[in-house]
Amino acid sequence: MKTIQFREAIAEAMSEEMRRDDSIYLMGEEVAEYNGAYKASKGMLDEFGPERVLDTPISELGFAGVGVGSAMIGNRPIIEFMTFNFSLVGIDQIINNAAKMRQMSGGQFNIPIVFRGPTASAGQLAATHSQAFESWFANTPGLKVVVPSNPKDAKGLLKSAIRDDDPVIFMESEQMYGDKGEVPEGEYTIPLGVAEIGREGSDVTIVSFGKIIKEAYAAAEDLDKEGISCEVIDLRTVRPMDSEAILKSVKKTNRLVILEEAWPFGNVATEITYQVQQHAFDYLDAPIVKINTADTPAPYSPTLLEEWLPNKEDVIKAVHKVLYK
């Protein structure tokens, strides 16, 4: 094993795949000469040249569409959004073209493309720069949605996403790029659609994904001192979701808390809640609790932001609630 930063894991995944397959290119704002807005493509221009690592103008609609068009006839593009907040001006190309092309053409054109970049909040960036659209994309048939929470998963999942023959939304975080973690030395991939039990436990299941899962791990540490054993499931892929892993854990612990950084109405946690009540109703010893951001746009002021974002204390409170403590 070796210890690398999350941003290095992203760059390694892209570089290894680009060495393996000439049809892959990286395109986006600041990805080439600037080495990435968050240095997640450091050194790639030097290695692969300007034909395969391309800086773009600030034209998300334009370059997302160029990516999809090129994927129709042989390319396997990686399209970087500086953040997924900016994907909104290009979302027509993702939802109407990337996701639907195969279906609309009766199976003639699959679109092997990865749209990647950071998601959700990253400090006091306020309303337009703190949004989590995982559930938006996950709502759309034709897409796959991957949200890693550590360098090992980021590298293995991104390599699988690039090799996948369907369009993949790959969501990172500005606040994770500096995170360090152990990754295997050699070649490895992690399959899409498979959750990981990040911490084994027996009293309660906590399901989460992405950077906010750190709050679940921190809560589990504290709760352990109280004698409460938490099982933390890292979804890693939101669509398709590893429902089996969740159900198996809930059938063991009989209690479920879901932590998701997203607005509360109709999000990923809502879907998990539906599936668990449908398929494990008799196993539940308490109503499911979900923890999300406030049902408001993200505020700027630090005290309000602290209230808006879910945190470790919220998780502890929720675990106490499902345990009737």
Partner 1 sequence: MKKITKETYLQWYEDMLFWRKFEDKLAAVYIQQKVRGFLHLYNGQEAVLAGSLHAMDLEKDRMITAYRNHVQPIGMGVDPKKVMAELFGKVTGTSKGMGGSMHIFSKEHRFYGGHGIVGGQIPLGAGLAFADKYFKRDAVTLCYMGDGAVRQGSLHEAFNLAMLWQLPVVFICENNGYAMGTSVARTSHSTEIWKLGLGYEMPCGPVDGMDPVTVAEEVHKAVDRARKGGGPTFLEMKTYRYRGHSMSDAQHYRTKEEVEEYKKIDPITQVLDVIKDKRYATDGEIAAIDKRVKEMVKECEEFAENSDFPPIEQLYDVVYEQEDYPFLPHKL
296 is a site residue for partner 1 (CB under 8 A): no
- For the residues of 236-258, what is the DSSP string, one character each? -EEETT-HHHHHHHHHHH--EEE
Sign of the C-alpha dihedral, residues 318, 320, 324, 325? negative
106 is a site residue for partner 1 (CB under 8 A): yes
CA-to-CA distance for 167 and 32, rounded, in angstroms? 23
- From 29, 60, 260, 271, the catalytic residue: 60
- Amino acid found at 87: S
> Of 201, 211, 286, 198, nearest to 242 (Cα)?
198
Structural tokens at position 270 = 């809502």
45 is a site residue for partner 1 (CB under 8 A): no
Q: Which stretch binds partner 1 (CB under 8 A): 51-59, 115-123, 177-185, 281-289?
A: 51-59
67 is a site residue for partner 1 (CB under 8 A): yes
DSSP 283: G
Give the footprint of partner 1 on residues 136-155 (CB under 8 A): 141-142
102 is a site residue for partner 1 (CB under 8 A): yes
Give the footprint of partner 1 on residues 238-267 (CB under 8 A): 240
107 is a site residue for partner 1 (CB under 8 A): yes
Residue 279 appears among annotated catalytic residues = no
Phi, psi of 104 (to 5 degrees): -65, -25
Residue 174 appears among annotated catalytic residues = no
Sign of the C-alpha dihedral, residues 216, 221, 227, 233? positive
Q: Which residues bind partner 1 (CB under 8 A)?
A: 23, 25, 51, 56-57, 59, 61-75, 89, 92-93, 96-97, 101-110, 112, 141-142, 164-166, 193, 240
Annotated catalytic residues are: 60, 129
